[in-house]
Structures are given as C-alpha cells and as structure tokens.
Amino acid sequence: MFTTFVGTPQSVTGSNKDLPDDRIFAASERPSPRPKRHQVARACGWCRIQRVKCDNNVPCGNCHSRDRHCSNSASGEFRSLPHAYREIERLRQRVRDLESQLGNERHASQTIFPLPPVSTENSTPSNHDAFRAEYKRNWEGVHISTAYSQQRTWYGPFSLFYFISRMNTYLTAALQQPHLDKHIQPNSVAKSFWSPDCNSLKENEGPQPRSDGHLVQSGQCLTAVQEEFFLNLFWESHHSSLPILNEVEFKDHCKGLWATPGKPRTPSALVDIVIAMSMQYGMTTRTRSLSGTEVGADDPTIAGRWYYRRCQALLSRDLESPTISTVQCQILSVIYLCCASFQNMAHSTLAIAVRTANMLGLHVEPPADMPSAERELRKRIWWSLYTVESKTCMKLDRPFSTCLSSTFCELPADDYEAARIAGSNFATLDENVTWLTYNLQHTKLVLAARSIHTALFDCCLKNSSGENGGLIYDDPAALKRCADFFTTSIQALRTWAQRVPEVLKTERKGNGVSFSTDFSVLYVEQFAPLWVQRQRLLLELLYHNLAMNLHRPFITFPTTPQLTECASLSHALLAAEHGMALTNIMHQIMTQTNILAGWHEAFQWQWNASITLVGYLLASPTSSSTALVRQAIDRALTVFEVFGCGFAAAASAAAVVRGLAEKVDLLKERARLEDAQARATALAAINLAGNYTGNVSHGSGGLLEPNGQDYITNDMLNLMDEVNMAAMQEVLTARPMDMAFMEDGPNGEDFEIQFLPFMSI
C-alpha cells in the first residue's frame, strides 16, 4: 500500500550535475595516487652517491641507461642476510645429496682401487706437498732373481716370492744358517735358458726367422696330419676354458693355408700359437724319457717353441695396424709363456695385449649394428684378457694395467643363443647353463678376488706405522685392524661360491659340500664329457687358490712373542685350510683320473699351496691342525711326482718341498726337546725348593752358607745329573733326524756334525 524509496547519496553515485563548473574541472584534474615505491635491500654505488632510486636489476636501470659500471654486476653478492642463509642451506643440501650418491655408487660396486703412484716432478709447489703427504707410505716388496740371469726383479708383498723371502728369513734365524730365496724355487726352463728358444746368454744357436716368417730349418714343421692332431687337442682342452676363438672361422682359415698339397702351409701367427700351446700341453701328458730334475732343450714345457717363435715374428708386422687376430695371438702367447715358467715375459706380453685391445676398442661396448656373434666374441676376448691380466698381477703382486671402469663393455652372455652362435658344438649342461657359463663365472670370481686384493692392500698401507717395508708384521695392532677389515671384505668371495650353478660343481660323497674346506672326497661323474669335468675342477681349484692367496699375508712367523697371539691366526688357519682343500682335490684327481694331466696351471696352484702349507707349519708349530697340514704336504709330494713324469719342473718342486718338510720336522723335534728340557728344569726346581724347605725346617740353612758361599748337597748334584742324562737320552733317540743333514756338499766336501743346542740347567 505504501512504497518506500531508498535514496543514494550523491557522493556515492558520483553524479556532479548539481556541482558548479569550477569544482567539476578541479575534480577531473586531480592526479591519481602515486604507486608504491619498490624498495631494494641496497642501492648500487652510483645510485647511492646520486641519491636516486635504484632497482634489483643487474645492472640497475640507471646504470644500464647511462652505460656505466654498476656495482650490482657481481652475481655472487647477496642482497640480504636471509638470502645468504637460504643460499648456504641450499649448498649444504647439495653437498649431502652428492655424498649420498657417492656412497651408493661405492656400495654398489663394492670395489676399492688403490691410486697409482703419481709423478710430482712437474707439479706445482702447492700440489707437491699434498701428494707427498698422501703417498708417503710404501710397501717395498722384494727384489729377487727368478730367471737365468742374476738380474733381480720386483715382486709385491702379496706375492708368493715375498712369502718365500719372509720364510727364508725365519729359517735363517731358526736354523742359524743362511737360506737363500733361490733354494726354494723349482728348476725350470726359465732358470736354465734366457728365452723359450733355449739359447744361453753366451750362445745364440738355432734357426733365425726370415723376413717371410719361415724358419731356416723347415724340418721342424709338422705335416698336415700332425697339425690336425694338435689342433683337435686344442679344442678339447684350452678352448672350453678360454673361448676367445670361433672354431668354425678358425677351421676355415686353416683350410685356406694349405694351398698346395705336399707343400708346407702358409705361415699364420694364430695357427702357429695354437699349435704351440697344443704341443706344450700334449707332450707333458706323456712320460718323458729322462728322469730327475734337470731341464734340457727337449723339456715338454717348451715343446712347439719353433711355432711360438714364428708367431712372434709374424706379429711384429701387425704392431702398427693390429687386428682381432693380433690380440688373440697375444693372449695365447701369455698362456704359453706362463706354462713355460717365463713369468716376466708373460707379464710384458700382457701389457702389450692390453694396449692392443684398447687400440681396437675391445674394452667398450660393440656397435649395435655389428652381428651378434662378433659382438659376443669381442666381449669374451676383452674379459678373458682382463681376467688373465688380473690373475697374473695378483700372483706377482704388481700394478694392474687395466682398471675397472664404467665405460667397459658388459660381461659376455652365456645363454643358449650365445653358445649357439659361438662356433662350437658343445652340449648344453642345463636350462640356463652352457659351455660359456664357466667363462662367465670365472670372470666374476676374478673380479671379486681382485676387489678384495686391492682393498686389503690399501688397508695395509693405511694401517702401517712407518714409510717403508712390511710394517704390519712389526705392529700387532695394525695387523689386527687389517684382519678385522679382511673379515668383512672376504665375504664377497664366499657369496660368489654360493651363486655358482650346481651343474658346475663337483659332487661330494656323503654330506660333503663343494667350494668348502670340509676335505670331503669328490664324486667324479663317470659319463660326463672331459671338458665338463675339467671346467668344474678348474673353477673350484681357482677359488681355493685365490682364497689361500688372500689369507696368506696373515701368516706371521714367530719372530716376536706378542705376534703369536695376534687376531690374524684365524685367517692364517683359513689359508692353510684352503691349501689343504686344494691339495686333497689335486691328489685324488691326479692319482685316480687323467682330467688334469699335463695342466700346467694346476701344477702351479699346487706349488703355491705347498709353500703356503710349509710356511704355516713354520709359523704355527703348535696349532691343532699341524698333523693335517703335514699329511697334506705328503700328498702334495705325490702330486708332484705324478706331474714329474711329464716335465722336470714338477720333479724339482717335489725335491724342494721334501727338503722343506725335513726342516719343518727338525724344528718341530727341536721344539719338543726344548719343551721336555723346560719341564725337566721346572721339576728340578720344584725338587730343589722342596729340599730347601726341608733344610730350613731342620735349621740346617739354605742354599747359601752364612758366609755367602754356594751350598749344594750331593743329592742335588745327583738330581742334576739325572736330569741331564734324561735329556741326553732324548737327544740320542732323535739322532736319526740330525743324521739327515750329514750329506756330502755340492763339491764333495763333508759337513761337520753339529749337535743340537741345549738349555743349561
């Protein structure tokens, strides 16, 4: 009924129709409010002097428009304290992230490599002191002569030669007569001749290679039938354990070399070295005509040396333009030289082979467009070279020529397809195990052992107390720290053993376990191919050999009393146990089968184990395992005798180990006599004390008269005579042990009889 109207004030509607004209004009001319000034934390130098507004641009707007140098151009200068705090926190977080990534990578690789010595001659003065502080510690190793020449070569502190040197030092002190390192080295071709050509340093006889690669005496060459025999022997022996050749391609290459029937074939470096290796292996499986330890030019370990020599002459042409065949020849040459006992020549050839492989790019991943067969062959060649080089350098304990890198190619495949295109027709062992699986497991084992080797070496250097020498043996605390570290790092080797496929393990009788030290008897499969049985044995023997080498540095000879109670005794015992396990396997296989007949690497492993066992007996004569170790040494002698039927080095090794065993028995008997004397002396002291107490109780004085003179009754003298007579009876009982050393000297002179020293009572 009533309508209400709401009015809007004029000030709100903004209507100015009722305002005078002058007021309307003034309102339209009113300026807009000034924008808020952008403040900066600190003005630049020019704006601050001119007292004008600055901004946060770099450089600021004023300086940029006038083309002046602006103090804001320093990008790293922070404008406020909170900004600086935020930047510090960001950098700290970045450091934590990088450290975490580095730790993850180290944990994943489980490999620690010692840095090689760095030459600081041309470095700046500031860097020179830093290098000196980091690398001032050194483990000198030993310089000894191991070849025909008296020139000494260097071997590292983890090598067998360094262990022999330590053992000789102890024998010299214990027996009080000098023992040289060369007396604990078997006679070999390398100690009789300066090269595989069997030429002495004064005479350079024998045929020389002509420029066309042939030899002057062509009568040394084999016929086509004979060459085929040795080539077939290679496919049955070395090829299954070193798959660096394509069998189909190699045989096609051989056929093309016999161009003219009845004439010698065209020289080929690869064919020559394969024949040389086969002759070396095949001749040592036969009984040699001569017996004894003397090495001559007809020794089986250098059989095929003419083919080896022609191979090297042909390889010299390819040094500037190498091929895959060049690397294959160099790897096989290393194996030939190692079996012929030319360790330094083999090491030098290895270095050339590594550099040749780098030239060909074998260490990197093959191109994707390359055929699969060729890709896998390149990988097998590279990793076979890597494992051979690693085993040789660990054996000699010399710096490695190759260092594991993320740029290396992947490990070779071992599946059915890879085995099918590899060129050889071997049976498949299991669903996922082929004849190539051994090569893959062999590579993984060497990689694990090498990582432990380098990590332990680095740990020993860090814990040494001085700058030179084998210092951890003079510091029980440092030796204990190294032993504790080694206890953790050795687990990688045991992890590898647990992951070996069952089909590559030699079964045991009863409840025995493969790759263990339970000393169980092997069950050799009767109807398995020879190459399968050999692969199984070589893999387990290599495992025991590497484990023994890694534990051996903890065998400490009792030069000081406090070292005999060191925590490293458990690792020393493990070294002996792996040596005994290796010896038991070798003894059963060599006496019951011919699987490893003529296999030089197995002989070298047995020699390594024998010296380790002898050293353990010298270092721990009171251990509870001495009887088992002594029994293992006797079994090793049997193994050497079997090998000795094929080549003289094994017979010489048997003579060396037999002499060391006699010295061990002598020291053990001497220790027993000294212990018996000590007990007799203690018993005499107790009786004398009883007599003294009785005299005192009867008031007859003591051992001294009141005037200070010695007072000894006749009963006491008779008691002393009885103790001496008992000790002399034990000496007469042990006299045959002393008579073992009453032999003629090398020049016919007689040794004088020296009685064992006794403690005075």
Question: What are the pLDDT digits (tens) for 249-265?
Answer: 999 999 999 888 778 88
* Mean pLDDT, residues 648-657 taken together: 93
Among candidates 562, 163, 126, which has minimal Cα distance to 395?
Answer: 163
Q: Enumerate the H helices of 397-516 as residue ranges.
A: 416-420, 437-463, 476-489, 491-498
Position 260 scores a pLDDT of: 81
**Tens digits of residue pLDDT in 376-407:** 999 999 999 999 999 999 999 999 998 878 78
Position 104 scores a pLDDT of: 66
Position 571 scores a pLDDT of: 94
- The residues near 40 (Cβ < 8 Å, ≥ 6 apart) are 54, 55, 56, 79
**Tens digits of residue pLDDT in 344-358:** 999 999 999 999 999
CATH 4.10.240 fits 39-76, yes or no: yes
User: What's the CA dihedral at 733, 735, 737, 740 to 10 degrees?
Assistant: -150
pLDDT of residue 735 exceeding 50: no
Position 559 scores a pLDDT of: 60
* Structural domain spans, the chain: 39-76, 142-184, 193-425, 677-761
Reduced to 3 states (helix: H, G, I; strand: E, B; else coil), residue 54 is coil
* Mean pLDDT, residues 107-119 taken together: 42
Contact predicate 23/13, CB 8 Å: no
Of residues 720 and 508, the one with the higher pLDDT is 508
pLDDT of residue 733 exceeding 90: no
Residue 154's beta-bridge partner residues?
A: 143
Structure tokens at 193: 């001749």
Among candidates 435, 444, 510, 396, which has minimal Cα distance to 153?
Answer: 396
* Mean pLDDT, residues 309-326 taken together: 94
Among candidates 359, 435, 342, 352, which has minimal Cα distance to 389?
Answer: 352
What is the residue type of 759? M
Position 99 scores a pLDDT of: 78
Assign residue 281 a region: left if phi > 0, alpha if psi is -120 to 50, beta otherwise? Answer: alpha
pLDDT category at 618 given cuts 50, 70, 90 is very high
Contact predicate 719/688, CB 8 Å: yes
The DSSP output letter for 558 is: -
* Mean pLDDT, residues 660-680 taken together: 87
Of residues 461 and 42, the one with the higher pLDDT is 461
Contact predicate 737/755, CB 8 Å: no
Go through the chain and tell me how many residues it has. 761
- Record the pTM: 0.74
Residue 209's beta-bridge partner residues?
A: 215
**Tens digits of residue pLDDT in 500-519:** 999 999 999 988 999 999 99
Position 65 scores a pLDDT of: 86
Whole-number average pLDDT of the chain: 80
Among candidates 342, 336, 304, 289, which has minimal Cα distance to 648?
Answer: 289
Give, to the nearest 10 degrees, the angle between helix 648-697 and helix 600-619. Answer: 10
pLDDT category at 56 given cuts 50, 70, 90 is confident
Contact predicate 60/52, CB 8 Å: no
Least confident of 311-320, 484-493, 543-552, 706-715: 706-715
Position 747 scores a pLDDT of: 44
700, with CB counted inside 10 A (0-12, 13-18, 19+), is: exposed
**Tens digits of residue pLDDT in 543-589:** 999 999 999 999 998 764 454 455 678 999 999 999 999 999 999 99
User: Is the C-alpha dihedral spanning 43, 47, 52, 56 positive or negative?
Assistant: negative
